[in-house]
Structures are given as C-alpha cells and as structure tokens.
A and B are shown apart, each in its own frame.
Chain A
Amino acid sequence: MLKIDSLSKSYDKGKNYALQDVSFELKSGDVCAIVGESGSGKTTLVRLIAGLERPDEGSISLSGKVLSSVDQFTQPEKRKIGLVFQEYALFPHLTVLENILYGIAKQKDKKERAQEMLDLVGLSEMGGRYPHQLSGGQQQRVALARALAPNPSLLILDEPFSNLDTMLRTQLRSQVFEIIEKTGVTVLFVTHDTQDALSVADEILILQNGKVVQKDAASNLYVKPNNLYVASLFGNTVRINKDLQNAFHCPLNEECCHAIRNEKIKVNPDELTTDCDYITTAEVIKKIALGDAVQLVLKLETGEKLTVTTRDKNIADTINIGFNSKDILEFNE
C-alpha cells in the first residue's frame, strides 16, 4: 500500500544525508515500527511521507499513486495521511471538539463523526475543553482522534510516547493501540524505544545513520539481527573478537562477524555443564547489586572485560563462564 523507493534527502547539498537510499513497503492493515537512535533519520522519513519535506531522490507512493518523487509532488493537504506529532500540536485556541472537527469541516455528518471519535478515545465529555485544560495523556488521545477523524489511509505516529513518564507510557501505549486496532488503519509508528516497538508492531524497520539496516518481523530481529547495532538495540551484545575467541577456545570463521548477547553468557555451574559448548575462567573484579540480581564485571585470561548478570548469590573470586554455540549471532558485516 505504501511504497518507498530509494528515498534520499540531504539538507546540505549532499555533504551529509539525513536519509539515504531508503526502500520498503507496507501492506494494508500493517502496523510497522520505525526504530532508530535520534539522528538516524526517523523524523525526516516521517516528514517526507507526510509531504512536509521534499525528497532529493527516490519516490513515495500510496495506493499506487506517486506522492513524491524528483519531478512530482503532492501537497500534504491532498495526501490523506494522518499524523500525530511528538508534541501533539493541538491548536491551542480551539476546543477539543473544534480540533477534531478541523480536518472534517467539509463532511456532512461532521458533528456525529467528531463525537464518534471522542467516544472512541474515551473523552466523550471533554469536547468543550481547551487543550491546556487537559493532561498529557488526554492531549495525546485528542491528537489521535483528530488524526483519525478524516479516515486516513495511513496513520503516522511520531514518537507519541516520548513525552510521558514510564508508568503512563505503558498504560497509554496499550490504550492507543487498542483504539487503532478498532479502526484497522495502516500504521507507521516511529520510536527510539524497542520496548514500544516490540509490544505493538507486526514488523520493525531499523534505521541507522539514514539507512535501513533491517526490516523484519519483531521476533526475527532478536534472533537474527543484521549487525551489531541492531542486536544492541535489544540488549547489550559483545562482538566475539580474536581475544574472546582465544579465551573461550572457539575458533570461528574470520570472514564474517560474530557476537553474543551478554544475557546468553552463563555463570551457573549446572547450566555450564549441560548447556555450554565454550567455557573459560574469569576473575570477578566488581560486583554490583541490582536488587534480586548481581551484575558482575569480569576479566578474562586474555585481559578482556565482560559484564554479565546473574541471580546466583554466592559468587567466588574466580568463576567459570560459558555460552552455547547456537546463541552465537552471525553478521555479514
């Protein structure tokens, strides 16, 4: 339904690219998350799709119609894309109801539609209030209702939860996606938080320095990341370099790269005997209490330092550690 083809954008005539050669597709009804650190090009991608920026190369099409390319451009107001901004961007001088009516002023049944939207987001009684009289979470839901009212074919959420604290965030995330599920709209959801992405998205697209490094189902990304960056987004991961190979006596093919998640490195003696192919001894140089677990900073024979977390309470000064060969991640780069 949405087709992005080798999209590039530079703000300084090609010295640096905010987005470079990005291609992907979304099917109707998909919920796709775009994950990346700040500066990875997420916001630029969103603004390009919404028509708030113009690409230097490549094209964007929606339902078979080209919206942006090198020689074509559809104005944002003609795109029928819903966008919820990070800061909500509610019109401060209009009431909640007026905000929602804004995008459907020409529809015949606009009053009914607006009320329907208010009901959908659970703010039936709030139509007469002004944005500044609402809490952050309520403002967010108004922004969502406003974006959904014109019945967009694509809904983009740009970092919708980053202004909220952790408690509210989890609660609101499930609320928002319950609402979205009811409408069945195709969703592009931008976030820097992998938890957000994993909990709601069917598919995740990872951006790094303006390039797509991986697009895959959420479960696959954890098991088969394309590079160390992707792997690290889902928890600390170490590259199994020459020193580590020597320490664990595990000769690996030098042509490609290998890594292991810190959480896959075992400390428990039982697990070491039953579940590990590669084992070595390490000196515990620091213990950090983390409530019900302990974080250990280890020093290997080869001098390498490693951090592992364990629930075992009795840790000697020198211990054995190991991992299973099936947990080794393999990359092409």
Chain B
Amino acid sequence: MKQAGNKNTVFSLKSRLKRFKRDNNRWSALTLAIVVFLALPILFIGVELFAGPGETWSHIVEYLLPDYIWNSFFLIVFCSLLVLVFGVSSAWLVSRFDFPMRKALEWLLILPLAIPSYIVGYAYAGIFDYGGSLALLMEAVNLDFVRIDIMNRAGLAFVLSISLFPYVYVSARAFFLNQANNLLEASNMLGVGERKTFFKLMLPLARPAIVAGLVLVLMEVLNDYGAAKYYGVNTFTTGIFRSWFSLEEPETAVYLSALLIVIIFSLILIEKWQVRKVKFSSAKTNNQQIQRKVPKKSQKWLIFAVVFIPVLLGFVLPILQLIYWAFLTASKVFNMDFLWVSLQSFGISIVSALITVFFALLLIYFSKWSALRLIKNVARVGVLGYAIPGAVIAIGIMIPTLALDKWLIKVLGNMGIETGLIINGTLIALFYAYAVRFLAVAYNPIESTALKVDNSIPDSSKVLGVGNLKTFFKIEFPLIKTGIFSAVILVFIDVMKELPLTLILKPYHIDTLAVRAYEYASDEMVMEAAIPSLFIIFTAMIPVIFLNKLLIKK
C-alpha cells in the first residue's frame, strides 16, 4: 500500500512549492503590497540610517542625548507610577463598591481621554502661573500665594499621567468587572480580608490587563510633543523637531527616530514577555458581574473622594480653566478665520478617517481571502504604526517623498512640464501618514465585529456561486456596518487631536484646530488656545461616551 500522508513526501519542499503555487492568489500579493505600503515610513528610517548621521550628531550625542534619555526614563517611570495609582485604584473601587454617584463617575473617569495631553498642559500652566486661577483664588480668600513651578519634568509627568490614566482604568475595570467574580467570591468564602484579596489575588491576576493599558499610556507619553515643548522638557520628540526645523538636519532626525523606535519596541517586548509569564489567567469570560459591596457611611465618602480626585484633576479643572479663558478671548478668537480652520479640521479628519478605514478593510479581507497562512500573520504587521510616534512617521514620510518629488520634477521638467512638489507638503502625504499611524484604531473594532459573523455565512455565499468581492458587499458589509461606523468615529477623533505628525506634514496653507491651539500657545497667547481646544474636546467627548457604552456592553 502506498504510504500516503507520509510527512516526508507530503511536506517535502517540492510538494510545498506545488501547493504554494496553487494557493498563491492575487489577494496574497495585494495584502503584502498594503503591508509594505503601510510599513514604508519605518523601513525608510531603517534605510536612511545607512546614510550616516548629520554634522551635529556628535554634538547632540554629547550634550543633548543624555538629556533625552534621562528625561524619557524619568517620564516612563513617574508616569507609570502615577497612572497605575490613578487607574488601578479607581477601577477597583468602582468595580467593588457601591458609593454615591458611582455610575456617573464610572464614565466620567474615561473623559480625560477626550482632552489631548498638550491641552491639559496649557490649562495647568494657566492654573499655576503668576496671576493664574490659583493665585486669584488664594487672593480672594486672603491667602499668600506660593507659586508651585510646574513647568518642568515633574510637572510634565503629572500632566501626561492625569490625561492618560484612563487607558489603565478602562482595561483594569474590564478585567475586574468581567473576570474576577468567581475568584473574589472564593477568596471571601475562605475568609480572606478585603485588602489581602486585592493585593494578593486581584492585582496579580489583573496584571496582564493593567500592563496592556500601561503600554498604551507609555506609547502616548513618548509620542507627546505639544506638552513637552510647552513645559520646556527635552525629549526624543522635541529633539526630532529641533533637528528637523531648527538644525535642518534630516539625518539627525532619522537617528533620533530610530533610537525612539528601539525604546518603544523594547517596551512592547517587555509587555509580551510578562504576559507570557502569566499563564494562569483564565481565558474564559465570566458572565457574572462582580457583586458590589456597600461600605459604611464614613467609608462611602472617602471612596467617593479617592475616585473623584482623578476626574477633578484630569477633566473638571482643565475644562473650567479653558472655559474661563474662552470667555476672556471669545471676541478675539471667534471669527470667520476660526470657522474656516474648524471646517478644515473636520474635513481633514473625516477624509482621513474614511481612507484609514478603507485600508483597514482591505487588509482584513484581502488577508482573509488569501489562501496562504503566512499572509494572515503578515497582515498584523500593517497595524504596528500605532506604536510609532507621529513625529517619527512624519520623518519617515518626509524624506522619501521629498526625494520622489525631486525626481518627479526633474523627469517632468525634461518632458517640458513645470510642477511644484506633488506629494510632499500636500494633503496626500498627510492622509497617508494618518492611515499609517491610526490603522490599528480602525482595524480593531472592524475585526472584532467581523469575528462575530460566523464563517459559515460568507462560506454559504461562496458555495452558492458568489465570489469574494460580491460576498463582501452583499453579505459581510451589511453585517459589520456598526464596526465600520465606530472605526470611522474613532479615527476621526484621533486625527482631530493629532499634533506632532500634522505639524511636520501639513501643507503650508492648511490649519487644523490642534495646530491652531499649539500656535497660540507657542506665541505666548495660551488663553487664545482655549477655544480651539474646547472645540476639539467637545467633538471628542460625544464618541468617548459612546465608546464607554460599548465597553460596558462587552
């Protein structure tokens, strides 16, 4: 009898090649093309490294790099600590106890995410400044004003933490609410006290969820440009801006970008490593939610206070400060030009959201239609842009598009056609950059709704004689509409808030609300930044509430 299914012959190179030829369809090639397209900016950073550093590199290494590294290290450590304290404590308290206004606080704790960090930075600068809100308040009650200087590293760490802690809050709360109930009951039955249960049982179990949130926070910390610039703290991002705009040395910007990428991937690796070590977490979701305890009256208000502090610091105070400024500057800022900028901001955000969602759909479905298993893993690489700071992506796009434009101008010039820059400094480059940076924001909600559609549904369509594309439009699209809609909204907000990438790549004559706020603040007119900031915040708030509803449903 023929030894069929023999590993040696069936999985020999020859028959593998045969099957590869059979299974290699156009979807595989298209998936690969999209992934390469999305990874190009990062690949260019790698390629440009070989061009060698710029003239000032040795100067930077000697005088500035230690500062960048030390500041980044300081920010990583202190933001982690603060974010963990704010995020985990509030998540645990709202999941475990019932206290006054708990339900309202549960979603208020997410709202700081609606305010970009640099705007929180501007607001706090105004609160603590000479003649600022705090000074006025103390004067009013006849107290001596002692100025606390926050325009430094520590102040920046505080500002970033108070605006980013909701990432940790959201993922920790999701764990506590949905997965902790059985264990919690078991621990209580065994007579273990509340405090010990939290520190010995809940905290170690929630660690993967908490660290996942923390890594998102640190990516945002390293991505920040606006707040660091305003607070005068030298970080990698401000260094990239300085070498690009002031020193006009792209080579140096590339080297700093590469270093920053290394730092970020180390953080991601640490996360993966620590999650792998925690194999004991049960993957099964527990449908039963935690039974909340009703604490004693005195404790009730203490818990309320502890949960309210991050909301107060991260949302209420900055918003009050901005509203106060908005009243002072309304007549000056609110004019036709401002409306025009708002319109541009909306337009750019909606178009880039649609483009980004389009690419996410292509990536998800092309890789699904590819018959090669390898391609399905490759598709995930296209999502990595979210980890890369906006400034780095901008540099990775700026350099090759400049070179491409120079070449195009020369070629077209030879043909007698006079043109200016075609890609660089136009909206094309900007939209491309947003797609690279925010692809994951679109990819994840679409993928999770797509996973809810059982495979047998599209399979039935194919067996009934309908091809992939038509199946998508007739069957899959109507079933994943909500996922696509939330993806558009989420990317829309992220683009509205985005600053560093926009600053580098935006066309000269185009402005967004974020850029307008930044420019006011840089020009010593921080009060005037309040109105564009509030516009961004209110646009972002509606979907943050909507997103929270989705999270609670999950």
Contact = CB atoms under 8 A, between A and B. Distances in A.
Contacts of B479: 92-93
Contacts of A285: none
Contacts of B23: 54, 73
A93 B19 CA distance: 37
B148 to A, nearest CB: 59
Contacts of B21: 71
Interface string A10-23: 10011101001100
Contact of B464 (A14, A72, A150): A150
Contacts of A15: 7
Contacts of A169: none
A323 to B, nearest CB: 34
A131 to B, nearest CB: 11
B478 A93 contact: yes
Contacts of A87: 454, 456
A57 B6 CA distance: 10
B463 A13 contact: no
A10 B5 CA distance: 9
A98 B462 CA distance: 16
Contacts of A80: 465
A139 interface: no
Q: Pick from B371, B463, B474, B479 the residue with the most CB of A within 10 Å.
A: B463
Given A6-B4, A57-B15, A85 B456 contact: yes
A114 interface: no
B5 A57 contact: yes
Contacts of A90: 460
Contact of A71 (B10, B18, B465): B18
Interface in A1-35: 6, 8, 10, 13-15, 17, 20-21
A14 B3 CA distance: 13
Contact of A85 (B2, B15, B22, B459): B459
B137 interface: no
Q: Pick from B5, B454, B462 the residue with the most CB of A within 10 Å.
A: B5
A102 B461 contact: yes
A54 B22 CA distance: 9
Q: Pick from B10, B23, B466 the residue with the most CB of A within 10 Å.
A: B10
Contacts of B456: 85-87, 89
Given A8-B10, A54-B371, A89-B456, A70 B15 contact: yes
B522 to A, nearest CB: 51
A13 B19 CA distance: 13
Contacts of A17: 5
Given A8-B5, A71-B18, A91-B457, A79 B10 contact: no
B4 A21 contact: yes
A102 B466 contact: yes
B52 interface: no
A56 B465 contact: no
A54 B23 CA distance: 8
A75 interface: yes
A85 B456 CA distance: 7
Given A14-B11, A58-B4, A77 B462 contact: yes
A14 B7 contact: yes
A52 B462 contact: yes
A76 B463 contact: yes
Nearest to A80: B465
A122 interface: no
A1 to B, nearest CB: 18
Contact of A72 (B15, B22, B371, B474): B22
A81 B463 contact: yes
Nearest to A23: B4
Contacts of A14: 5, 7, 10-11
Q: Pick from A17, A76, A102 the residue with the most CB of B within 10 Å.
A: A76
A224 to B, nearest CB: 21
Interface string B419-457: 000000000000000000000000000000000001011
Contacts of A77: 462-467
B475 interface: yes
B478 A56 contact: no
Nearest to B467: A77
B462 A13 contact: no
A103 interface: yes
Nearest to A210: B5
B10 A56 contact: yes
A249 B463 CA distance: 58
Interface string B167-195: 00000000000000000000000000000
A81 B463 CA distance: 7
Nearest to A102: B464
A85 B462 CA distance: 13
A96 interface: no
B10 A76 contact: no
A296 to B, nearest CB: 43
Contacts of B2: 6, 21
B464 to A, nearest CB: 3
A150 B11 contact: no
Given A20-B5, A102-B466, A76 B459 contact: yes
Contacts of B371: 54, 73
Interface string B474-503: 110011000000000000000000000000
Contacts of A76: 459, 462-463
A261 interface: no
B457 to A, nearest CB: 5
A94 to B, nearest CB: 8
Contact of B22 (A50, A73, A91): A73
17 contacts: A6-B2, A14-B5, A14-B7, A50-B459, A70-B18, A71-B18, A71-B22, A75-B462, A76-B459, A77-B466, A79-B463, A87-B454, A91-B457, A102-B474, A103-B464, A103-B465, A103-B466
Interface of A: 6, 8, 10, 13-15, 17, 20-21, 50-52, 54, 56-58, 70-73, 75-83, 85-87, 89-93, 102-103, 146-147, 150
Interface of B: 2, 4-5, 7, 10-11, 15, 18-19, 21-23, 371, 454, 456-457, 459-467, 474-475, 478-479
In the A-B complex, the 8 residue pairs with the closest CB atoms? A103-B464, A21-B4, A89-B456, A14-B7, A20-B5, A76-B462, A89-B460, A8-B5
